[in-house]
């Protein structure tokens, strides 16, 4: 899928390329949420890592003048990952509603700090320096394409790694943890440390996504840490379902498409459109779009 998207890039108009870039950057964050969702946990605070990744990129570029895109993305991921390791100790003790609310609170703390920090532009945020790629500094369309390919590349690597994780023992334990945690502990497995790992993985993915988004959008602001941003990611997770890795990216694409479309066609009512879509998805497609694909595949296999 990624190869196809990468190849198609030069043929697509500019606005599609930038839309898809952002959708795929967000898709990475959603992938992190899918990792957690498989274990039955919903984090309403992924915006925390998204914002950390974004601000890490922006601040590194601003304070050190270092603008290599690859390095910046790695920095974003690492920064968010470190925070996730620390927070994970606290968060791994909770489940369900409290997990969601505590993660929400932590992301709002970051929001509060950023809003009150005048030197970082308060609610306006500030812009990100143009990235370079190993010394090569593209402009405009070429820049758009370069960022697009970078995003696809990072996404592909992430997707492959997470796919490996899902097929590993730790990944396979996610469903049992969701269903009945105590019995998993009877197996001798430490559920808390597995969940800690998942939080860190989701955090790193969130940070990478945020870093890519910062480069793609060219601007960071505290709103990236606001709970409605987290809500958007959760929305896509539900839309996509926890079925597969690809679902996260397809779902993100659909979401960005729907959002842009709703904004274009009925700008005052886009929230209502989003809300209705979410509601309908939960009511009629509780396993997300991924389940539709799986169902079609099974029907195809059954026929032959």
Partner 1 sequence: MKRHCGGGAANRGLTPAVPPSNSSGFAVLTASAILTDGLVYAAYLFIVAIGLTLIFGVMKILNVAHGSFYAFGAYGAATAVGIYTNGDWPAAAGFLFMILMGMAVGLVLGIILERGILRLVYGKDEVIIVLVTYAVFLILEDVIVLIWGPQSYAAYQPMVSAGNTEIGELVLSNYDIVLVAIAALLAGLAYWALKFTRYGRLLTTVIFDRETAAAFGVNVTLVYTATFIIGAMLGALGGAVMAPKIAVTLGIGVEVIVLAFAVVAIGGMGSIEGALVGALIVGICRAAAVHLVPQIELFVIYGVMALVLVVRPYGLFVRAQPRKI
Alpha-carbon distance of 26 to 13, in angstroms, equals 20
Report the residue from 19, 31, 42, 212 that binds partner 1 according to the rule CB under 8 A: 42
Report the residue from 28, 81, 165, 181 that binds partner 1 according to the rule CB under 8 A: 181
Closest CB to partner 1 among residues 132, 237 = 237
Report the residue from 92, 146, 205, 274 that binds partner 1 according to the rule CB under 8 A: 274
Smallest gap from Cβ 101 to partner 1, in A, equals: 6
Alpha-carbon distance of 275 to 208, in angstroms, equals 27
The answer to the question of residue 285 lying near partner 1 (CB under 8 A) is no
Closest CB to partner 1 among residues 90, 137 = 90
Question: In the range 209-268, which residues lie near partner 1 by CB under 8 A?
Answer: 227-228, 231, 234-235, 238, 268
Smallest gap from Cβ 175 to partner 1, in A, equals: 14
Closest CB to partner 1 among residues 97, 157 = 97
Closest CB to partner 1 among residues 158, 288 = 288
Closest CB to partner 1 among residues 97, 160 = 97
Distances (CA, A) of 126 to 52, 61, 168, 217, 226: 14, 11, 41, 11, 16
Per-residue mark of binding to partner 1, 126-165 (x: CB under 8 A) = ----------------------------------------
The answer to the question of residue 183 lying near partner 1 (CB under 8 A) is yes
Smallest gap from Cβ 229 to partner 1, in A, equals: 12
Per-residue mark of binding to partner 1, 77-106 (x: CB under 8 A) = -------------x--xx-xxx-xxx-xxx
Point out which residues bind partner 1 (CB under 8 A). 40, 42, 90, 93-94, 96-98, 100-102, 104-106, 108-109, 111-113, 115-116, 180-183, 227-228, 231, 234-235, 238, 268-272, 274-276, 278-279, 282-283, 286
């Amino acid at each position: 899928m990624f190869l196809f998207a990468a190849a198609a890039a030069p043929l697509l108009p500019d606005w599609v390329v930038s839309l898809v870039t952002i959708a795929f950057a967000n898709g990475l964050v959603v992938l992190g949420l899918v990792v957690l969702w498989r274990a039955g946990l919903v984090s309403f605070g992924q915006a925390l890592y998204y914002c950390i990744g974004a601000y890490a990129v922006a601040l590194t570029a601003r304070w050190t003048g270092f603008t290599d895109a690859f390095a910046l993305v790695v920095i974003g991921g690492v920064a968010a990952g470190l925070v996730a390791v620390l927070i994970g100790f606290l968060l791994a003790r909770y489940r369900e509603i409290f997990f969601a609310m505590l993660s929400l609170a932590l992301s709002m703390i970051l929001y509060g700090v950023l809003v009150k920090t005048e030197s970082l532009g308060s609610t306006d945020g500030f812009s990100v320096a143009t990235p370079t790629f190993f010394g090569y500094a593209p402009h405009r369309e070429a820049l758009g394409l370069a960022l697009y390919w970078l995003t696809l590349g990072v996404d592909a690597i992430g997707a492959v790694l997470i796919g490996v994780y899902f097929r590993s023992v730790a990944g396979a334990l996610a469903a049992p943890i969701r269903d009945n945690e105590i019995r998993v502990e009877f197996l001798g497995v430490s559920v808390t440390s597995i969940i800690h790992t998942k939080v860190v993985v989701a955090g790193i993915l969130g940070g990478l996504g945020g870093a890519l988004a910062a480069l793609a959008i060219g601007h960071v602001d505290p709103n990236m840490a606001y709970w409605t941003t987290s809500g958007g990611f959760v929305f896509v997770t539900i839309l996509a379902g926890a079925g597969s890795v690809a679902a996260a990216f397809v779902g993100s694409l659909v979401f960005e498409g729907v959002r842009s479309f709703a904004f274009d066609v009925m700008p005052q009512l886009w929230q209502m459109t989003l809300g209705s879509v979410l509601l309908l998805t939960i009511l009629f497609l509780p396993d997300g779009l991924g389940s539709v694909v799986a169902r079609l595949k099974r029907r195809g296999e059954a026929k032959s």
